């Protein structure tokens, strides 16, 4: 039987440590093709390139793996993979990451890592975004490799619902081993931004965004709790943003006769 075809992308760029780890793990499971940004694209969300040229170049940095780097966003990379690189071939799995930093809670909306996975789900491919909750450039990925393989293998063997992408976050390496996996919900948390007004050497004003992450969630069934307690969090995500509960409420309570 032919090997599963696995598309790998990310948002930290094709030379990042996280994608190297992910490629090596995926090589154990199938035929790997990489299409990833040529530079960091963190925080791009689901942006696509529509007003500029898109460039795609061969990249020979992964042994035995067909790889390309693109000037586009993570979502662009998956689109380019489908329409140009893979052409008539359909991936059995799309994986993105491993991101340097957390993509728990509301960060999923801003995440380039998850945008690649969600773009895969949009096309009907089983998709996973992997993130390590460690922002250090020297982050240690060794404790997550076996878990990445186990989770990806489960998806290949058992599948996931069409249109769903898994948002997988790993705790940073600690003195104790990871306790296990929690399939959970997105925490009720957000970034509270602060903007610092500054001036460049020519006297022109600019702003620098900073802020703090605030967790309002007191539950024990969410991704923030899982990471804090040394579990892997898996949140099934969908691209349909419809607030279905609000439809009936608006139909019942709004006065549509005024329209």
Residues 9 and 74: their CA atoms lie apart, in Å, by 7
Whether the bond between 98 and the residue before it is cis, its omega within 30 degrees of 0, is: yes
CA-closest candidate to residue 181, choices 155, 150, 156, 160: 150
Answer yes or no: is 88 a known binding residue: no
Share in percent of the chain as helix, strand, coil (round to 5): 25, 30, 45
Residue 115 is assigned to a ligand binding site: no
12 is in an annotated binding site: yes
Q: How many Å apart are CA 252 and CA 5, to the nearest integer?
A: 48
Structural contact between residues 102 and 227, judged by C-beta atoms closer than 8 angstroms: yes
Count of CB atoms within 10 A of residue 153's CB? Answer: 15
Is 167 annotated as belonging to a binding site?
no
What tokens does 54 get? 């898109």
Handedness of CA 53, 56, 57, 62 (dihedral sign): positive
- Which amino acids are annotated as binding site, given as ranges? 11-12, 42, 99
- Which amino acids are annotated as binding site for a divalent metal cation, given as ranges? 11-12, 42, 99
């Amino acid at each position: 039987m032919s090997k599963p075809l696995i598309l790998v992308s990310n948002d930290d760029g094709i030379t990042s440590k996280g994608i190297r780890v992910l490629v090596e793990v995926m090589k154990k499971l199938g035929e790997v093709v990489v299409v990833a940004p040529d530079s960091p694209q963190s925080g791009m969300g689901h942006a696509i390139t529509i007003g500029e040229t898109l460039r795609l170049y061969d990249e020979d940095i992964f042994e035995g793996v067909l790889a390309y780097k693109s000037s586009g966003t993570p979502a662009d990379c998956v689109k380019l993979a489908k329409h140009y690189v893979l052409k008539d071939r359909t991936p059995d799995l799309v994986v993105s990451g491993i991101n340097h930093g957390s993509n728990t809670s509301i960060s999923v909306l801003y995440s380039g890592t998850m945008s690649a996975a969600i773009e895969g789900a949009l096309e009907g491919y089983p998709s996973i975004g992997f993130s390590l909750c460690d922002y250090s450039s020297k982050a240690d990925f060794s404790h997550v490799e076996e878990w990445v393989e186990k989770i990806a293998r489960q998806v290949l063997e058992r599948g996931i619902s069409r249109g769903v992408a898994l948002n997988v976050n790993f705790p940073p390496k600690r003195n104790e081993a990871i306790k296990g996996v929690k399939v959970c919900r997105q925490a009720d948390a957000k970034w509270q931004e602060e903007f610092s007004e500054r001036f460049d050497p020519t006297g022109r004003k600019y702003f620098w965004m900073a802020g703090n992450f605030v967790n309002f969630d007191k539950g024990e069934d969410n991704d923030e709790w899982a990471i804090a307690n040394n579990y892997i969090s898996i949140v099934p995500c969908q691209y349909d943003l419809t607030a279905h509960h609000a439809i009936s409420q608006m139909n019942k309570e709004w006065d549509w006769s005024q329209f």
